[in-house]
Amino acid sequence: MGLLEKAGNIQAEEKKATKVVKAEKEAENYNQAVAKAAKKEESSPKESKKAAKVKKAKKPKKVKTPRAKKERVTKELPEGFVVVGRARSTGLWLIDSTVNWGLFLGIVFIMAFSDPDPTYLITGCLLICVSNLIFMPLWTKKTIGNWITMTQYVNTRGNTPMFLFHVMKNLRIPMNLTGILLFLFWLPVFLSEADMPNIFVTLFGVMFFSLSIADSVIKRFHQQNFGLWEFSFGGIWLVKATKSESSSGNKFLKRLESLSDYSESKGWLEDKE
């Protein structure tokens, strides 16, 4: 019995020894694995940086091509047309201004000295203005001033511009009057420190008046003496016109052409040297 107990104790001790050896080996393996993982973590940021540098080096740099500057194309007058002189252009402005706004200015003058009912006068003024600036260009491609001065507007293709050009071209007098009225209205208000008027109405008036100033400034500095509206519509010239066949059979247009013949006979449409 004593020998059996000794043999059992020896086997138990051997099992304990083997377990200790296994535990030590597992601990060593674990420590080695931890050490390897730490080395990988230390080396990984360096490797990632190197890889990023390589990728950046591989990517070709985009070459920025300089943008070609757009050359300004000079608008050219179509062949077969002759630009008018100052006499005809001034005559055109005077005639159209008188037809469009003469009655309106007369109404303002009458109302300054009396108190009539201006309803019918203003209605008649608007009818005449609309007829000259919209109806006449749509019908004959000219205004009354164009007919009397024997002139017409043409674009780069040799065609007459749309009626809207005639409308904007003949708004200079209302634009200037708007500026004068704004000045006369604002000055007393500013000096008396009274309540300011509607800001939106005032801004609209200032913008409307500014168009007249812009027209003069652009015409002064433009190489081809284009104003705001000539430039905005792609290049418009005022040229000499010939007698149109469309006037045959219409008494009103024949009367306008007879006025142009009379003006030419008097030399009013020719520039003096």
159-180 tens-digit pLDDT:
999 999 999 999 998 898 888 8
**pLDDT attached to residue 60:** 56
Structure tokens at 114: 């009396």
CA distances to 29, 64, 92, 140 from 125, in Å = 108, 61, 19, 21
In a domain, 73, yes or no: no
In a domain, 230, yes or no: yes
- What distance in Å separates the CA atoms of residue 137 and residue 229, rounded to the nearest whole number? 16
Q: What is the pLDDT of residues 52-85, one digit of tens each?
A: 554 554 555 666 666 766 666 678 899 889 999 9
Radius of gyration of the chain (CA): 46
pTM (2 d.p.): 0.68
In a domain, 67, yes or no: no
- What distance in Å separates the CA atoms of residue 272 and residue 86, rounded to the nearest whole number? 10
**pLDDT attached to residue 81:** 92
In a domain, 11, yes or no: no
In a domain, 61, yes or no: no
The position carrying tokens 């540098």 is: 53
| Per-residue burial over 164-180, b = 16 or more CB atoms within 10 Å of its CB, e = otherwise | ebbbbbbbbbbbebbbe
**pLDDT attached to residue 106:** 80
In a domain, 27, yes or no: no
Which positions of the chain have pLDDT values less than 50?
Answer: 1-4, 6, 46, 54, 57
Residue 132's closest CA among 142, 124, 123? 142
What's the total number of domains in the chain? 1
Cα torsion angle, 53, 55, 56, 57, sign: positive
Neighbours of 221 (CB within 10 A): 7
One-letter amino acid identity for 251? K
Phi, psi of 155 (to 5 degrees): -100, -170
Query: Which contacts qualify for 200-206: CB closer than 8 Å, 24 or more apart?
Result: 205/178, 205/179, 205/181, 206/182
Alpha-helix runs per DSSP H in 131-171: 136-140, 144-149, 163-169
Q: Which domain holds residue 250?
A: 86-265
In a domain, 185, yes or no: yes
**pLDDT attached to residue 242:** 82
In a domain, 75, yes or no: no
Torsion of CA 154, 135, 90, 273, to 10 degrees: 50
**pLDDT attached to residue 238:** 95
